Amino acid sequence: MTAGSRTEAPLMSNCADKLYEENKMLKNTLDNLIKEHKVQPVGSGYTDCIISFGESFDFINALSNIGINVYGVTWWCHCKNDVTGCPHGMGGPLSLYYDGWFSEMWYEMLEFDRNEQVISYLNSPKDKSIFECFVPALWPDVPEDWINEGCRTPHTRRKFLTPNS
């Protein structure tokens, strides 16, 4: 090993350490925003982050403030014991924050380039195939290997419910 390569290794390590720490801080900020806005990621990552319609706009704006883009939206039925005609969809997890559970709808994910497009879409009038009980699930553009330990459905409550459950 030459003298030049010895000095380069610590520099590379410092850059990698700095990037790691920045990502860790960003992930921690995201985790805190998820709790603050009562977002429920499905599974252990950050895809299908189910959120109430009312919280979705503030959450997306908060993501914009920390540089995270939402690249997709899917729809879930928030199934409650009331007269909304639920459940619709294919089943899903119990809600961590609200009464009832969520049932994944059969719609394809809608993709977006910018958070402003997501907000515009969510603000637009919905067609008749979007029921009153539907809530969005947002797909933040974060590394696939990020694990969300804080808000995921605990294993003991991770019973997937369907109309016949």
Span 50-82, pLDDT tens digits: 999 899 999 999 999 999 999 999 999 888 766
Q: Which pLDDT score, from 0 to 100, does residue 4 have?
A: 47
CA dist 152 and 12 (Å) reads 35
Measure the CA–CA gap between 135 and 80, rounded to whole angstroms: 13
pLDDT in the model for residue 102: 87
18 or 116: whose pLDDT is higher?
116
pTM tops 0.85, yes or no: no
CA dihedral over 26, 27, 30, 35, signed as positive or negative: negative
- Partnered with residue 70 across adjacent β-strands are 140
pLDDT tops 80 at residue 49: yes
